[in-house]
């Protein structure tokens, strides 16, 4: 076998080995944090008891806390984190811009604005709110996509339109809140901050189905984003229809981001930061699975902190991700600059 | 052997017609260079030939079939394209870039195979990039980077290859490297090459067939020795020039004259 073939094989192996190690490590981290979140609260539950309760045994005292609070919250944290993060990473990678996550571009805000409008002004609850939130996100994404049009500057236009829409929608949210009575406004605010406080098993099942369908599809489709990253012309030359691919990715991103937002509100920074963190950990390669695991770990950890950091007070999880997100962003910027200097 | 033919091809951006009713039969298994002044429609013609820009009138036939009616991945296995100044994705290595050339040969779930390895390795060898396989593309010099792009196009293994100004921004030595590589490829694999070139002298030296364009139309077409004449240069570029014969190769060599200044 020639030296060149061996060089190609070695280059591929190096990248893939690193990627596998990273996924295993992140997977272990998520499992660990999941167990911590589900079992180690104010009321500690042994692993064996946890298994017994999941399989149907009732343990007085423990069962209620575990089955109705900590376990569903841990499940929701994993699902929502993975949904926001994979959507964010895929969109950032597609638009080749770290600003282009669904929360910055107003897609999650579209869901929020519609939901807040329905809850506060129309007094809706439950499934209709989820559907309206979904419609809001679809509306924003369709507008962004519509402005992309044809031609080279498509991604730049999409980002500009998205940022503009986000500003408009955030003023809509504020307007609605100003018109609301105090109690409803407070409920809406908790939701807007992002909270896992009141999730039900039916909501978890719904989001689990969405994630189980959309996430694997997104992983397969985003593998081709590597080719789209070469520019639309070259991608077309390699047999990729850039426009159609953007449409498919956008549809999956909206499905994931809007479904998660509908249940637990827009949890700050998860969609925006998971992709860049995963990229950093895998040396500049976009990996949707890695980003999904980073997102899940982030929300699990943040939810645990939000529940137990200050004794007697529970904050919405979004407060913690929001507070923790800013330093992480700074770290990414500093670390990114350092690696640039090393390369040059 | 693939054939590429344009029939009454009209290409336009919005309403602005750039290429107007052009007929061209690309010589199979030869190297064709398209020359002409800036804005004459050379690059647009290449976009039309590679189905990136659908014609407003007329058609492009690849192996006798209308190119726009073929599945795009099928076309990508027969016709490769290297646009001018493609985007380099952040952080990827030369090997990863070249591997992307295998994309048209993969299905949605088809795994990377030993054949792919062999093809990518051959492309790296031909472009002398084996040692740089694990180096990030964005840290390469201009000449190396252009070779990396060509390696990617080679990995696509298409019988037809379209290159849009493959030598722009390269110094003369690197221009020659790239053009020698194109000749090599043509000699070894019989690849049909169509390239847009700025430099008439280089085109005359490295192409078997010249297509001179002006104002969206073909002004002259044929072997370099027939096309490179003072009269054609005058009508295409609007400059006066002498043409002499290279004593070593017999190729035509263009010597542009200085423009006479108006005595105003």
Structural domain contains residue A8: no
Calpha distance A260→A252 (Å, rounded) = 12
Calpha distance B128→B149 (Å, rounded) = 12
Structural domain contains residue A231: yes
Does B133 contact A3 at a Cβ distance shorter than 8 Å?
no
Nearest chain B residue to A223 by CA distance is: B108
Structural domain contains residue A9: no
Provide φ and ψ at A309, rounded to 5°: -65, -50
Each residue's pLDDT, cut to its tens digit, for chain B (264 residues) gives 789 999 999 999 888 899 999 999 999 999 999 999 888 899 999 999 999 999 999 999 999 999 989 999 999 999 999 988 788 877 788 998 999 999 998 876 667 888 888 999 999 988 889 999 889 888 888 888 989 999 999 999 999 999 999 988 788 888 998 899 999 999 998 999 999 998 888 899 999 999 999 989 999 999 998 888 899 888 888 888 888 888 888 888 888 888 876 665
- Model pLDDT, residue A294: 96
What is the CATH number for A327? 1.10.3470.10
Helix (H, G, I), strand (E, B) or coil at B88: coil
State the DSSP H helix or E strand holding residue A276, giving kind and residue range, or none if neither: helix A270-281
Structural domain contains residue B125: yes
Structural domain contains residue A325: yes
User: The domain containing residue B243 runs over which residues?
Assistant: 4-256
Calpha distance B212→B197 (Å, rounded) = 10
Provide φ and ψ at B186, rounded to 5°: -65, -40
Nearest chain A residue to B87 by CA distance is: A230
Structural domain contains residue B263: no
Interface confidence, given as ipTM, is 0.84
Provide DSSP, A84-142.
HHHHHHHHHHHTT-TT-STTTTTHHHHHHHHHHIIIIIT---SHHHHHHHHHHHHHHHH
Structural domain contains residue A290: yes
Write out chain A residues lying below 8 Å of B136, CB-based.
Answer: 343
Nearest to B50 among A11, A237, A241 (CB): A237
Domain count, chain A: 1
Question: In this structure, is the dihedral angle defined by the CA atoms of residues B50, B53, B54 and B59, taken in order, positive or negative?
Answer: negative
Spatial CB neighbours of B51, under 8 Å, sequence gap ≥ 6: A236, B60, B67, B68, B72, B75
Spatial CB neighbours of A166, under 8 Å, sequence gap ≥ 6: A104, A105, A106, A109
Interface of B with A in 17-76 (CB under 8 A): 47, 50-52, 72-76
Return the structure tokens found at B129.
Answer: 């990039």
Calpha distance B153→B98 (Å, rounded) = 8
Average pLDDT by stretches of 10, chain A with 344 residues: 81 84 96 93 84 86 86 95 96 85 90 89 82 91 79 72 92 89 82 83 92 94 82 87 86 92 88 91 85 96 89 83 87 66 38
Helix (H, G, I), strand (E, B) or coil at A282: coil
CA gyration radius, chain B:
19
Return the structure tokens found at A85.
Answer: 């993060």
What is the CATH number for B150? 3.40.50.300
> Which one of B48, B67, B72, B125 makes the best mutation probe of the A interface by having the most chain A beta carbons within 10 Å?
B72
Structural domain contains residue B261: no
Calpha distance B22→B217 (Å, rounded) = 6
Provide DSSP, B31-81.
EEEEE-STTSSHHHHHHHHTTSS--SEEEEEETTEEGGGS-HHHHHHHEEE
Structural domain contains residue A140: yes
User: The domain containing residue A81 runs over which residues?
Assistant: 19-335
Q: How far is B176 from chain A (nearest CA, A)?
A: 24
Write out chain B residues lying below 8 Å of A238, CB-based.
Answer: 76, 100-101, 103-104, 156
Q: How far is B173 from chain A (nearest CA, A)?
A: 25
- Model pLDDT, residue A199: 83
Structural domain contains residue B84: yes
Structural domain contains residue A340: no
Question: In this structure, is the dihedral angle defined by the CA atoms of residues B137, B143, B149 and B152, taken in order, positive or negative?
Answer: negative
Query: What pTM was computed for the model?
Result: 0.84
Return the structure tokens found at A277.
Answer: 């963190």
- Model pLDDT, residue A340: 43
Nearest chain B residue to A2 by CA distance is: B121
Spatial CB neighbours of B173, under 8 Å, sequence gap ≥ 6: B143
Structural domain contains residue B86: yes
Please check whether residue A307 is in contact with residue A41, taking contact to mean a CB–CB distance below 8 angstroms.
yes
Does A5 contact B80 at a Cβ distance shorter than 8 Å?
no
- Model pLDDT, residue B262: 63
Nearest to A169 by CA among A112, A84, A248: A112
Does A2 contact B125 at a Cβ distance shorter than 8 Å?
yes
For chain A, say whether B243 makes contact (Cβ under 8 Å).
Answer: no
Domain count, chain B: 1
């Amino acid at each position: 076998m020639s030296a060149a073939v061996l060089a190609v094989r070695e280059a591929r192996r190096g990248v893939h080995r690193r990627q596998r190690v990273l996924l295993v490590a992140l997977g272990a981290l998520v499992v660990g944090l999941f167990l911590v979140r589900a079992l180690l609260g104010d009321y500690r539950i042994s692993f064996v008891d946890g298994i017994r309760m999941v399989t149907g045994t009732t343990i007085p005292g423990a069962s209620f806390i575990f089955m109705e609070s900590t376990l569903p919250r841990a499940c929701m944290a994993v699902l929502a984190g993975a949904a926001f993060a994979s959507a964010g990473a895929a969109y950032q990678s597609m638009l080749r811009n770290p600003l282009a996550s669904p929360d910055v571009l107003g897609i999650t805000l579209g869901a929020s604005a519609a939901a807040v409008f329905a809850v506060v002004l129309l007094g809706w609850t439950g499934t209709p709110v989820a559907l309206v939130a979904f419609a809001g996100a679809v509306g924003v994404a369709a507008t962004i996509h519509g402005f992309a049009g044809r031609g080279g500057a498509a991604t730049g236009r999409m980002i500009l339109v998205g940022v503009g829409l986000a500003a408009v929608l955030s003023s809509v949210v504020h307007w609605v809140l100003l018109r609301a009575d105090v109690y409803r406004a407070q409920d809406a605010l908790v939701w807007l901050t992002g909270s896992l406080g009141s999730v039900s098993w039916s909501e978890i099942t719904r989001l689990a189905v969405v994630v189980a369908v959309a996430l694997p599809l997104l992983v397969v489709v985003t593998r081709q984003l590597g080719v789209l990253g070469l520019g639309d012309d070259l991608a077309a030359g390699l047999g990729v229809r850039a426009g159609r691919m953007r449409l498919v990715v956008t549809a999956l991103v909206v499905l994931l981001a809007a479904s998660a937002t509908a249940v637990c509100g827009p949890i700050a920074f998860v969609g925006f930061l998971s992709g860049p963190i995963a990229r950093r950990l895998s040396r500049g390669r976009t990996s949707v699975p890695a980003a999904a695991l980073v997102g899940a770990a982030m929300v699990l950890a943040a939810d645990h902190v939000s529940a137990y950091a200050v004794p007697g007070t529970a904050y919405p999880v979004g407060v913690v991700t929001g507070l923790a997100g800013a330093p992480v962003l700074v770290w990414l910027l500093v670390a990114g600059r350092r690696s640039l200097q090393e390369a040059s | 052997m693939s054939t590429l033919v344009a029939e009454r091809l009209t290409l336009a951006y919005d309403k602005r017609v750039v290429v107007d009713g052009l007929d061209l039969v690309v010589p199979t298994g030869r190297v064709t260079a398209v020359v002409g002044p800036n804005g004459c429609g050379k690059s647009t013609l290449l976009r039309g030939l590679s189905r990136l820009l659908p014609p407003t009138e007329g058609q492009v036939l690849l192996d006798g079939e209308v190119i726009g009616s073929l599945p795009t991945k099928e076309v990508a296995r027969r016709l490769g394209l290297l646009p001018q100044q493609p985007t380099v994705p952040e952080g990827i290595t030369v090997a990863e870039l070249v591997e992307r050339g295998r994309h048209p040969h993969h299905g949605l779930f088809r795994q990377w195979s030993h054949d792919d390895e062999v093809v990518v390795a051959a492309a790296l060898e031909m472009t002398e990039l084996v040692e740089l396989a694990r180096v990030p593309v964005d840290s390469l010099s201009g000449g190396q980077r252009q070779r990396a792009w060509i390696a990617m196009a080679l990995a696509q293994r298409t019988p037809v290859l379209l290159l849009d100004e493959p030598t722009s921004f390269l110094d003369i030595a690197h221009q020659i490297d790239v053009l020698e590589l194109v000749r090599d490829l043509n000699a070894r694999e019989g690849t049909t090459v169509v390239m847009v070139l700025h430099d008439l002298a280089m085109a005359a030296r490295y192409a078997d067939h010249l297509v001179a364009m002006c104002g969206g139309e073909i002004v002259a077409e044929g072997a370099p020795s027939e096309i490179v004449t003072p009269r054609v240069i005058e009508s295409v570029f609007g400059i006066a020039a002498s043409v002499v014969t290279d004593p070593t190769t017999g190729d035509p060599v263009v010597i542009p004259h200085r423009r006479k200044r108006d005595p105003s």
